[in-house]
Structure 1
Amino acid sequence: MAGAAIAIAAGLSNPAAAQSARGELASASNVDTNFARDRNIAVMQRPRDGYQAVGIRMGSFMAYPKLSLGVEHNDNIYATDGGETDDLIWRVAPEISISSDWSRHALTAYARSSILRYQDFDTENSEDLSVGASAQIDMQRNSFIALGVDWADLIEPRTSPNAVLGAVEPTEYETMAARAAVSHELNRLRLSGGYAFKSFDYEDGRNPGGGAIPQQYRDRDEHVVTARADYAVSPATALFLEVSRNVRDYRLARPAVTLVRDSEGTQALVGSNFELGAVARGEIAVGYFNQEYDDPTLGDIDGFGARAQVEWFPTQLTTVTFTGSRTIEESASPGSAGYTSANVGVKVDHELMRNVILTGNVSHGKDDYQGITREDDRFNAGIGATYLLNRHTGLTFAYSHMDMDSSGVGGQDFKVNKVGATLALQF
């Protein structure tokens, strides 16, 4: 609803959400580690006395229930170029997170839903549902095993580059994911690795005149194995090498499909994880990727890979986050199995008052499709404000703009503006 700014209320006053945002592979901040990056606290992660959720104690666990009620105006709900259709959208989003309160090890679980109701065009109505759990087993100081599983039933947004053009309803799909990771520190050296699995199952779409729009050719399983070594050249700077191998296995084969999208790929990155006093921290990596396709009619994709996230703290009340990436993504377009996606963005969070947070973001992305003449240029921008009334109530107002410029086959130009408000109720 109304872009990323509305998500502020979801994490600002929920300790479990703020903790999970740091990532499962981030080890506990022990004073003797060379990899702690915690000299400053980002605006979105900062605890706020008097405005944090109290939670409900359940033995050695804490539960944080929450309900978000929102309304949004979207001036182009079908994401079309010309003949735009606007509508008012109502949203109800219940959720609950549960986390352990142990001195060692950790166990968390969540369940959340997002129910959208369009005032005039009910074919766009949707219900998203997701559940998951994760665990961390502390083997010894600064060494742990992390496990996780997630399941979700989702709706593909009309603004997605893989959205089905002209379908009566947005595409519904189901995902299931499982992951395992291990991290171990040996003085200046940290070794980590992991395995991740994710499956996708898509429902067929419907044409306005009747008849199905096949989507099950997109059903697939993805496997990724990653190994990484970090070496701390100082307590505030580490250099690392990360190598990952992926297998993308589609369930339909010939003659059910004309294009076999199965592939295998490798990515190798070198980079640095750092903290510059209390002024900045982050991670920057560059390297090489390639994706090899089983179908001889498809050319391989290779080239420059990158990943970056840097937080800058110009003042204690402001956090500026820079992000960037260049990756290979799966394509649903006929004749193309994948594309390179390059993205850069910046987000500013400012604590105007302890209970008033302002945010703004700008990002740009470019997708270059393999096998067909299609290029997409995306521009996104948004602003928002969150006002925490007390421990149990928060208000968020947000505006977002998206501009898609697509050339070639299979894409579509459009502009979408959204403005909305959300009331968050939590305990």
Structure 2
Amino acid sequence: MSRRVTTVLLSGVAAACLAVALAVVGDAQAQQARGPALRNTVPAYVAQPRPEASESTAGPASPIPDSISDPAAPIRNQASAVSRRAPPRASRSVQSPNLRGVTQRQFRPPQLDVTGLPPPPEPPPPTPRRRTAEEDPYAPLGLRLGNVIYKPAVTNSIGYDSNPQRVSGPSKGSGFSRHEGELGIQSDWNVHELKGSLRGGYSEFFRESDASRPDGDGNLDLRLDASRDTRILLESRFRLDTQRPGSPDLNAPVVGRPLTYQYGGSAGVTHDINRLQLTLRGSVDRLDYEDARLTSGATLSQRDRNQTQYGLRLRAGYELTPGFKPFVQGEIDQREFDQRADSNGFMRSSNGYTARVGSTFEISRQLTGEVSVGYQDRKYEDGRLKNLRGLIGDAAILWTPTPLTTVTLRGTSELGDTTIPGSSGTTARRASLEIAHALRRNLTVTGFGSFGSTEYDGQGLREDFSTLGVRLDYRLTRTVAIRASFTHERLNSTAPGSDYTANVGQVGLRLQF
């Protein structure tokens, strides 16, 4: 029985040896038949003797691995075309004294290309792009024409005004409809920049047709980058407004609200010298007044108030830090009236000199703005009018204490003109505060208030104007929004019969693109 088992074992071993020999011969013949093509594709180290291994793995060189415990076997199995044995499973551990417990997947010997040189390292996988949170998911996308983006908007509202004519004493309220259109402009150029905003509206009162009035304002700015350090600045602006019937400059009772037109432009150049920035700008502005219609049916001419103002301004700013740039500014201007003398015989053309210091600042991402203060001296052509002097200033501060809250503070002080006999002009000061808070991503409530004071030089006349209100914006989509507001207005004047109070509420639908 043992002899039969021995004979069977010997026969199996012989058959295995014969099969191995036939496989080697077949591969050698196939390699010889393929010729140079195979020699170019088989790595050079396959035909060479196996490198000397450690004592535990030492053995005769063989093109076929004897067992999976040989650490060189995976190299030959992957690189040699003559081996037909399937690679071991990744989960099986390599039972080698030097690689004990290391799986096939963990043990990855270096791969060699057909030239025998190690391949270049694989590039790292691309870093996934970070998805930045959208600042305002309900903001309009705008309409792109070429490389300029336009953002039009239309608002139609209905409301109620308790004092449409802004008259003193008892008044008759009236419902009204308001129609307003806006257009924002922003270029998308590699160099240069074009930006601007235009707005126009009309309020139509149902019971007080004489109180119906238009209003509007806008500006358009173009920056041309002549070089890295030199820029050309072109600006245009306009404003359309009306006069209230009780204004001190309307020395007679009038019907309706006469229009006023302000428009102009400026051109300048800015040059940077390291941290020093110099700006020279010239401007021309025009102010026209519409004739007023008196209650008697006659016409009150206001042509003596029409004027043109020319100005030249030089500004030098130095950037102490990236967020702090103080500046000094000097300006001269000339106001020329169309009529040399007004209706009272005063020649009101004048020359003004202004000096100003201030700074732009960015204390943090949450607090930015510009503040300046100065002094102006205005000399009139008529010797009977004394020089008008006083402090002037401007302020614009934007504070974002939280991502949901924005606080905007603005203020200005300036010297103006008047037609009141014996008065050289006016000193007007304005301040406004606006706080906007987002209750939800598409629901914003805004509280606002303003205060203004106008003093008429030499007359003891003063008017204090204040407003207080709240506005609610509910954006349904990027295109459709609902807007509601309530405003309380009050004017206190030292002139008898000029005080008034008004309450205005309205709600409307806004379409923006």
TM over 0.5: yes
Change (3 A) 1:342 1:394: same
1:200 and 2:295 correspond: no
The aligned amino acid for 2:268 is A
The aligned amino acid for 1:170 is R
Provide, for residues 71-119 of structure 1, a one-character-per-residue CA deviation record: whole Å limited to 9, x for no partner.
2311111111102121111111234344432211123466543222111
In structure 2, the residue matched to 1:8 is: none
Q: Is the contact made by 2:304 and 2:342 (CA closer than 8 Å) also made in structure 1?
A: no
Q: Is the contact made by 1:364 and 1:378 (CA closer than 8 Å) also made in structure 2?
A: yes
Q: 1:58 aligns with which of 113, 122, 145?
A: 145
Secondary structure, in 3 states, of the residue corresponding to 2:222?
A: strand
Change (3 A) 1:98 1:283: closer
Change (3 A) 1:321 1:142: farther
1:234 and 2:321 correspond: yes
1:422 and 2:477 correspond: no
Q: Distance in 1 between the 2:208 and 2:459 partners? A: 34
Comparing 173-182 with 154-163, greater Cα deviation is found at 154-163
Q: Distance in 2 between the 1:337 and 1:424 partners? A: 45
Comparing 334-343 with 257-266, greater Cα deviation is found at 334-343
Which is helix-richer, 1 or 2?
Answer: 2
The aligned amino acid for 2:423 is S
In structure 2, the residue matched to 1:339 is: 426
Change (3 A) 1:371 1:111: same
Which structure exhibits the higher relative contact order, with contacts defined as CA atoms closer than 8 Å and separated by 6 or more residues?
1
Q: Distance in 1 between the 2:342 and 2:322 partners? A: 57
Q: Distance in 2 between the 1:329 and 1:352 partners? A: 41
1:70 and 2:157 correspond: yes
The aligned amino acid for 1:426 is Q
Q: Distance in 1 between the 2:375 and 2:343 partners? A: 34
Per-residue deviation, 1:53:
1.8
The aligned amino acid for 1:114 is G
Per-residue deviation, 1:48:
4.4
Secondary structure, in 3 states, of the residue corresponding to 2:304?
A: helix
Q: Is the contact made by 1:373 and 1:408 (CA closer than 8 Å) also made in structure 2?
A: no
Q: Is the contact made by 1:248 and 1:262 (CA closer than 8 Å) also made in structure 2?
A: yes
The aligned amino acid for 1:415 is T
Q: Distance in 2 between the 1:400 and 1:332 partners? A: 31
1:321 and 2:439 correspond: no
Comparing 266-275 with 255-264, greater Cα deviation is found at 255-264
Q: 1:173 aligns with which of 250, 260, 267?
A: 260
1:270 and 2:357 correspond: yes
In structure 1, the residue matched to 2:458 is: 371
Per-residue deviation, 1:205:
0.7
Change (3 A) 1:142 1:353: farther
Q: After the TM superposition, which residues 204-353 of structure 1 pair with which residues of structure 2 at under 5 Å, given as runs?
A: 204-254=291-341, 258-353=345-440
Change (3 A) 1:162 1:415: farther
Change (3 A) 1:59 1:339: same
| TM superposition score normalised by structure 2 | 0.68
* Coordinate RMSD, CA, aligned: 2.6
Provide, for residues 312-359 of structure 1, a one-character-per-residue CA deviation record: whole Å limited to 9, x for no partner.
222222122223332112224344341111233322121222222221
Secondary structure, in 3 states, of the residue corresponding to 2:210?
A: helix
Q: Distance in 1 between the 2:379 and 2:287 partners? A: 20
Per-residue deviation, 1:249:
0.9
Secondary structure, in 3 states, of the residue corresponding to 1:283?
A: strand
Per-residue deviation, 1:124:
2.3
Q: Is the contact made by 1:299 and 1:370 (CA closer than 8 Å) also made in structure 2?
A: no
1:413 and 2:496 correspond: no
Structure 1 unaligned blocks of 5 or more: 1-45
Q: Distance in 2 between the 1:192 and 1:255 partners? A: 36
Provide, for residues 142-198 of structure 1, a one-character-per-residue CA deviation record: whole Å limited to 9, x for no partner.
642121234565433558675676311100233331111322222221111212211
Provide, for residues 223-272 of structure 1, a one-character-per-residue CA deviation record: whole Å limited to 9, x for no partner.
22211111122222122101111211110124865122211111111122
- Provide the aligned length of Structure 1 versus Structure 2: 381
1:91 and 2:184 correspond: no
Comparing 318-327 with 70-79, greater Cα deviation is found at 318-327
Q: 2:231 aligns with which of 136, 144, 148?
A: 144
Identity, in percent, stands at 27
In structure 1, the residue matched to 2:491 is: 404
Change (3 A) 1:373 1:99: same
Q: Is the contact made by 1:175 and 1:198 (CA closer than 8 Å) also made in structure 2?
A: yes
Larger radius of gyration: 2
Comparing 166-175 with 127-136, greater Cα deviation is found at 127-136
1:358 and 2:438 correspond: no
Structure 2 unaligned blocks of 5 or more: 1-132
Change (3 A) 1:192 1:161: farther
Which is strand-richer, 1 or 2?
Answer: 1
Q: Is the contact made by 1:164 and 1:171 (CA closer than 8 Å) also made in structure 2?
A: no
Q: Is the contact made by 2:142 and 2:149 (CA closer than 8 Å) also made in structure 1?
A: yes
Q: 1:81 aligns with which of 145, 148, 168?
A: 168
In structure 1, the residue matched to 2:278 is: 191
Per-residue deviation, 1:389:
1.1
Q: Is the contact made by 1:73 and 1:419 (CA closer than 8 Å) also made in structure 2?
A: yes
Per-residue deviation, 1:385:
1.4
Per-residue deviation, 1:141:
3.6
Q: Is the contact made by 2:304 and 2:341 (CA closer than 8 Å) also made in structure 1?
A: no
Provide, for residues 378-415 of structure 1, a one-character-per-residue CA deviation record: whole Å limited to 9, x for no partner.
22222111111111111211111221111148x82111
The aligned amino acid for 2:318 is Y
Q: Distance in 2 between the 1:404 and 1:320 partners? A: 25
